[in-house]
Amino acid sequence: MAQNQFLIDSDKLTPEALKRKHQVEQDPSARTDPMEYMEGMERISSDIMEKVLDQMRGYEPQEYTDADVCRALMHETCTVDDLKALLSPAALPHLEEMAVRAKQETGRHFGNTVYLFTPLYIANYCENYCVYCGFNRYNDICVKG
């Protein structure tokens, strides 16, 4: 197996935690599938994912023409087919128009504002093992007294 330089162990992990870490790193079937419901989760019945996947599977970018793109740009509200046209290669000569339209739409919905999002941490202690993160409890954090 190829050595991955980004998989770093810590001597602070318990043997069980280290075993589980290695299992998850080496065996994809041991990983949690984020697309599957886990036990106890509320199940949301919706067909939206299938609808999106159906549209994606049926998308033929080469079928869209310049006329389709122009029509899409004239519509007040874009249909799914309009969006497909705007994503197609036929839209390439219209990038400037699309940028102007996108700016108008953004202004219409959000105004001239900038939103900043930041995660809110209520502790500097996390049980996860993201090697780059200072909140990872297994990282050595230099505390000056």
CB of 30 to ligand SF4, least distance (A): 19
53 binds ligand SF4 (CB under 6 A): no
Binders of ligand SF4: how many residues, by CB under 6 A?
A: 6
> Of 18 and 126, which has the nearer Cβ to ligand SF4?
126
10 binds ligand SF4 (CB under 6 A): no
The full DSSP string for 8-36 is ---TTS-HHHHHHHHHHHH-GGGS--TTS
> Using N-to-C axis directions, what is the helix angle for 66-74 and 80-87, rounded to 10°?
130
136 binds ligand SF4 (CB under 6 A): yes
> Of 32 and 112, which has the nearer Cβ to ligand SF4?
32
Interface of this chain with ligand SF4, residues 109 to 128, rule: CB under 6 A: 126, 128
For residues 50 and 41, give the distance between their C-alpha atoms in angstroms, rounded to a whole number: 20
130 binds ligand SF4 (CB under 6 A): yes
